[in-house]
Amino acid sequence: MAGTGLFAEIIDGEVYKYYADGEWKTSSSGKSVAIINPATRKPQYKVQACTQEEVNAVMEMAKSAQKSWAKTPLWKRAELLHKAAAILKDNKAPMAESLVKEIAKPAKDSVTEVVRSGDLISYCAEEGVRILGEGKFLLSDSFPGNDRTKYCLTSKIPLGVVLAIPPFNYPVNLAVSKIAPALIAGNSLVLKPPTQGAVSCLHMVHCFHLAGFPKGLISCITGKGSEIGDFLTMHPAVNCISFTGGDTGISISKKAGMIPLQMELGGKDACIVLEDADLDLVASNIIKGGFSYSGQRCTAVKVVLVMESVADELVEKVKAKVAKLTVGPPEDNSDITAVVSESSANFIEGLVMDAKEKGATFCQEYKREGNLIWPLLLDNVRPDMRIAWEEPFGPVVPVLRISSVEEGINHCNASNFGLQGCVFTKDINKAILISDAMETGTVQINSAPARGPDHFPFQGLKDSGIGSQGVTNSINLMTKVKTTVINLPTPSYSMG
Ligand code: G3H
């Protein structure tokens, strides 16, 4: 159970502690932040409302701990990460339980998130050993006008302090996707969890604590974004920000200093369906892509652009599958669970009502109880409707009928987002041309958009973000290149 057994020290009474200097602490603010269970809409947990002074202290510790961590051999850093991964996987139950309670993720998917996170940490440790153990050796005589008098040695060195801000929808997985690359590359890490998802994050951080990472290297600071959000992201000690979330990321990037940024800020992933597509495959992928975790994924299918000639058949197939989706509590593994908050549910409802007023066809009756919204497929959506452009982050999938592939590509490219997209066709040549034409970070051919497997590059174009993710790219992003040049008094050529 969350906050008990191995995890008993992370809670004080009914308030979860924050983590700094290798210890679990109570904030001097004496205040806490309540976490509302999306399904019951009642307070479920409480976390510390940390102060700006506590942020300052954490940053000082992170700066000093990083100096010795950078001198820790790579194999040793990897060993500790493997240990953390094993502890995380062995203790998945309390984390999965908190995911269910604070973000209403279905129970099975919650377990999957934790296991996936353990695998990500281990993969990152291995990849780090491979790519950070290698450097480059350049000889000067390959550039015109030079003799071989200079030997250039390059390697990758850490940035310093990495600030990680994961979103509510994958609080554990998208936290470790930032923590593990930062640590293997020799950085220290300050984590600011989302309010909903904070308790899962605190349990995850305890697994790193139990693995024996040095004091101060990892910190987890909780609290109100309004009090410590800007203070954290604009803190002079921060050398890199890895953020996943909404358009807050745009304002963070405007205020951040001259530091590397890794940002993933959502998408309006289009699913382009051609006449020759396997419509059963498309329908299953619309269900998986559009409705899993109730559509609360950046990579969810957020608009279907289907050729008019096959639209009726496709809509019927999707409708039949929507009818089979179960709706209810996350504890019961329902397919559709409550969305994260009342404001989120209100926003989704606003998009649905706008589509209704403008004449979209409702394939199911719109139904909502509290934060629980029944799955909804909207047909005959037109570009003048908000749902054609905005991301609902809920179980609502709009279908736009198109009369040419170009129309689909134009719609996709007119979006301010550019995360992923997908195209369904049996013609691989067409698929490649469409993939090239779509202005998105990734295009999936004959499958719904998805970030994983977690070592694949993952990046958004336009307002969907900057910097690429995926294990290898994250490690590279969290390092800088250091060069040493050996200058020789006379040219030196190795003889055959
Ligand atoms: O919500 C944003 C996530 O990066 C999407 O990840 O494709 O594994 O669901 P996913």
Among 265, 281, 315, identify where a domain stops.
Answer: 265
Distance, CA of 342 to CA of 348 (rounded, Å): 10
How far is CA 378 from each of CA 382, 400, 477, rounded to the nearest angstrom?
A: 10, 9, 40
**Same domain (yes/no): 257, 365:** no
Whether 209 is covered by a domain: the verdict is: yes
CA of 438 to the centre of ligand 1 (A): 19
Residue 309 — pLDDT band, cuts 50, 70, 90?
very high
| 479 occurs within a structural domain | no
Query: Is residue 494 scored above 90 in pLDDT?
Result: no
Q: Is the pLDDT of residue 496 over 80?
A: no
Ligand 1 atom with the smallest distance to the CA of 450 is 7
| Type of residue at 160 | G
Substitution site in 113, 176, 298, 459 for ligand 1 pocket (most atoms within 8 Å of beta carbon) = 298
**Which tens digit of pLDDT belongs to each residue from 204-262?**
999 999 999 999 999 999 999 999 999 999 999 999 999 999 999 999 999 998 999 99
Do 286 and 342 fall within a single domain? yes
pTM: 0.97
Q: What is the tens place of the pLDDT at every residue in 186-206?
A: 999 999 999 999 999 999 999
What is the tens place of the pLDDT at every residue in 444-481? 999 999 999 999 999 999 999 999 999 999 999 999 99
Domain count, the chain: 2
Residue 460 in any domain: the answer is: no
Query: If you measure from the C-alpha of residue 202 to the centroid of ligand 1, how many angstroms do you get, rounded to a whole number?
Result: 21
Mean pLDDT over residues 357-362, rounded?
98
Residues 229 and 308 in one domain: no
Per the domain annotation, does 487 fall within a domain? no
Angle at 259 between CA 254 and CA 261, to 5 degrees: 70
Mean pLDDT of the chain: 98
Q: Is the CB of 169 under 6 A from ligand 1?
A: yes
Which CATH number does the domain housing residue 329 bear?
Answer: 3.40.309.10
Residues 379 and 422 reside in one and the same domain = yes
Domain of residue 210: give its range.
Answer: 5-265
**Ligand 1 atom at shortest distance from the alpha carbon of 292:** 9
- The rounded Å distance from CA 27 to ligand 1 centre is 32
Ligand 1: which atom is nearest the Cα of residue 293? 9
Q: Is residue 120 included in any domain, yes or no?
A: yes
pLDDT in tens, 74-118: 999 999 999 999 999 999 999 999 999 999 999 999 999 999 999
Per-residue pLDDT averaged across 424-434, rounded? 98
- In a shared domain, residues 274 and 250: no
Same structural domain for residues 214 and 195? yes
Q: Does ligand 1 come within 6 angstroms of the Cβ of 451?
A: yes
Pocket of ligand 1 contains residue 298 by CB under 6 Å: yes
Task: Report the CATH number at residue 89.
Answer: 3.40.605.10
Residues with a known catalytic role: 264
Q: Rounded to the nearest whole angstrom, what is the distance from the C-alpha of residue 472 to the centroid of ligand 1? A: 17
